[in-house]
Amino acid sequence: MNKIKGAAKEVLASAIQVQTSSKDSPALATKSLYGLNPESIARELTDKNLKDWSMFDFYSKTMLEIALNIPIPYLDNWHAGIVKEKYIQKVSKLAEENFCVKYDGAELRKPILFSGNEKCISGEFSFEGDRVSAEGYFYATHGKMKPADIQGVLVRIRGSSVGIYIKDFLGFPSTEAALFQNWTSCEIYASDELEEAMNIDRVKFRETHPAFLELRNEFHRQLRDFFKRVLNELYKQRRDERKSEREKELISEITNVTNTNISTVSKKVALEVKKSWSYDKKESRKSVSRSYSPAQVLKMVSEVAKPILPKPLFEELIAEINKLLLK
C-alpha cells in the first residue's frame, strides 16, 4: 500500500477496511458493495434507508460512479413496475448493445434501479429535431428520489454519460414544479450530433450550441407535460387517499364515542347516531372533517338546549361545555 498513490490508494484502503470495520463495530461500519454480485447490489440500492451514495465506502462509491458513466447493461428488472412500457424496453435494448466491464472481478451494471411501487409513474421522451434526436424516459415516485444521486436528468451519447445527473434538468426553472423535481429521474440517449455541444472536459455542455438548445427546449416542453401528470396522478391522488383515510378514522372515532358515552344511556339514540355517520354517505364524509371554534360550539349547544331544557339544566350544561372548551 505504501507504493500506491492518489485516489487508487483510498479505493483499495476502503475495500480492505470493509472486512474489519463490520466485525469490530457493526453499527458504525460504512455500507459496502465489495464482493457483491449484481443481485445483491440491486438489493442494497433499493434499501429504503439509502439516502445517497455517500453512505457507501469510497471503494463502492467509485464503483457506482464508474458504472453510471460507461456504456454497460442495466441491472435486471431495473424498471420494475414499468417493464411493459415499450419505451423502457427500447432503452434497455440500447444498453444491451454495449459491452461488459468488470471492476475488481465483479461485473458492473448501471446503478439505476426503480422500485416500481404503485406510487410511481413513467413517461417516454422521444425527439427528432433538425440538429439532434434522442430517446429516453421520465420516472417519478411519490416522495424524494432515493438515492439522491439519480435525481435529475442524465444525458448519454453513444451510451456514455455526459457527467452525472443534472439536478436542475438542463436549467429548468427552479420555481416551476419545485416539489416534483425532487421526485423525478430521467435519462436521455442523444444522437451523435450532440457530441459537438460538449465541453472539452466532456462532462458539461456548451449551452449556446444549437444542438444543445434544440434538445433542451424540447426536453423542457415534454418535462412540463410530465409534471402535469405527476400533479394529477401522484400528488392529487395521494392527497385524496390521505383525505379518505382521515375521514374513515374520524368516523370510527364517532362510533367509538357513541358506543362508550351514548349507548349506555340510550341505545336507540346511539343507533341513530351511528347510522347517520357512515363513510358510504357523501354528507358524512363532507361533515366529519369540519373544525369548530369555541363560539360555534357554544352557539350550537345553546340553540339545541334552550328550547328543550329547563333553565337550571340549561345553565348547568352550558357551564360544563364551557369548562371542556377551556381545557
Q: Which residue has the cell 345553565?
A: 315
Q: What was the pLDDT predicted at 283?
A: 83
Range of the domain at 17: 1-80+100-111
Residues 91, 96, 98: CA angle, nearest 5 degrees: 110
E strands, the chain, are 102-103, 106-107, 120-128, 133-141, 152-157, 160-161, 184-190
Q: How many CB atoms lie within 10 A of CB 88?
A: 20
C-beta separation of 34 from 20 below 8 A: no
Q: What was the pLDDT predicted at 22?
A: 45
318 lies in some domain? yes
3 state DSSP class of 57: coil
Q: How many CB atoms lie within 10 A of CB 147?
A: 20
Q: What was the pLDDT predicted at 182?
A: 97
Rounded to two decimals, the pTM is 0.72
256's CB contacts (< 8 A; 6+ apart) are: none
56 lies in some domain? yes
Tens digit of each residue's pLDDT (9 = 90 or more) over 119-164: 888 999 999 999 999 999 999 999 999 999 999 999 999 989 999 9
179 lies in some domain? no
188 lies in some domain? no
C-beta separation of 157 from 132 below 8 A: no
Q: What was the pLDDT predicted at 126?
A: 94
CA distance 284 to 247: 9
Closest CA to 194 of 179, 174, 209: 209
326 lies in some domain? yes
Calculate the alpha carbon distances from 36 to 14, 43, 172 in Å: 15, 10, 37
Last residue of a domain, one of 111, 132, 165: 111
Q: What was the pLDDT predicted at 26?
A: 43
130 lies in some domain? no
Low-confidence stretches of the chain (pLDDT < 50) are 19-29, 83
223 lies in some domain? no
Q: What total of structural domains would you count in the chain?
A: 2
38 lies in some domain? yes
CA distance 96 to 71: 9
Q: What was the pLDDT predicted at 25?
A: 45
